[in-house]
Structure 1
Amino acid sequence: MLDKDKVKKLNIFATKIRIETIRQIATRGFGHIGGAMSICDVLAVLYGDVMKIDPKNPKWEKRDWFVCSKGHAGPAVYSTLALRGFFPVEELKTLNQNGTSLPSHCDRTKTPGIDVTTGSLGQGLSIAAGIALGHKLDKKDNYIYVILGDGECEEGQVWEAALYAAQKKVNNLIAFIDYNKQQIDGYTKDIDDLGDICKKFEDFGWYSLNIDGSKVEEIEEAVRKAKAQKERPSMIVLNTRKGEGCSFAENTLNNHHINVSMEQGNEAVEILEKKLNTLMIN
């Protein structure tokens, strides 16, 4: 269970990730704001408390691996990596521009700290399961973490990977679904209803948990429970809001990939900076 100071620290980190993510996308003028904002809290927990990492040595052999299967949420990952010191924060303003090391989708050949290239949806869980199995066979004690989108879970390959990971008992694999209930064309329930996705993964042989994905303390506790069980891969369903924490995006449906003006960005950042100041004072 996280103490009060740790919860405060992680909430501050998540808010900073949101601020830098909005700044990136506003500077570029467009981007995947919705799905980037909804994973900031889980990124704060993973990179601020849970994962074994070394920003000065991104390829450290004993590190935990992270796969952002919903690779279009890369800006949030880049913000996290920069804030942790993998590369200068100033580089964030080059997002998706000529010569950048921060392309629109995550690319392991370009960005320090990115373990797996992603963006073509449906593939990340298969990759993560393979990495986890390889590490298990090599008797390594690190964990592989992967985040999927809920719309992404309409891809058949996700469920092939789910079956395989359970069959091979890759208990060093901990996955998350960003269950913000929206995708590019609308609500997931109207396009290809996922039903009880937590129960689905349980039926596929996974250890499954359903939590509030905006509460860092619930995320940390879920990871701790996932690690405590040693028999199966784990799926943590994060109930989130698409665009979480972004004033112009969080309460709209069409927020998957949108144009963002500097004025919009500055206004949203100002709101978050006020929240940040309050968190730091209290």
Structure 2
Amino acid sequence: MTTTLITGKGGTPHITSGDMGAMQSGIIGNGSYLLQGSDGTFPTVTMQDANHALIPVLNLVVEGRYARVTEAETATIESGVSGQNRNDLVCLKYTRNNQNIETAAIAVLKGTPNTGTAADPTIPSGSIHSASGTAWIPIARIPISGITPGTPVMLIKQLPPMSKLLDSVTLDRKIWSGPYGMKVRLAKVGMMAFAFGSTSFTSNINSNGQTVHETMDAGFLPADEAAILLEGVNGQHGSLSFYSDGKVTISGSMNSGYYFRVCGCWPVK
């Protein structure tokens, strides 16, 4: 019988790591990922001293298997050689023995020193998906120049929580009250904001970058600067420029009583 109700009561133990690994790979992905910590940030490997990399508490999903570093631990980095460069890789080493007992541990792959640009060591072949006896999952690179190790570079992909995914697809809309009586429709999806529709003014405008009293809504502030373009049906046109601090300037020659098409798109902070 090849069809099994994995999470149903079977009367005997029947849920394997392969079952859960297949499910988690299907939901999360077939690769290897770093999950955020309880403080909402993604932890990083640091150097404790010249010969020890400090691996913090980590939550990892590697080829469907969930692995944890429950307490900070160190990995030994061999001393470098003056005048030579080397890259070492801090990895999670997965092992499956002849009895299909699976374990995981932090291990270091040492690179080959040379006088030129350092290259990462070759990752030994092997995959959990393929039931290999060992699989190496790189977590961080330790660049070593001469006898001095540099700042570790995280290599494993970060996997944001589902709450972030929800934020990225949630539509936020509002009408912003801009200068000279104008009303602008704004929308935000994830980290992108949009201005659309049409608007009009309550007085004539003739400006070359005048700063106005109104500020851009806090929820739609750009990462740096952005602009909303205004195109009138009678050939008049102008623009609103605004910045990460909320300051807004207006440019153009536009008369009241006319409608202007609104167009804008920018990344938010």
Q: Same fold (TM over 0.5)?
A: no
Which one has the bigger helix percentage?
Answer: 1
Q: Which has the larger radius of gyration?
A: 2
Structure 1-normalised TM-score?
A: 0.25
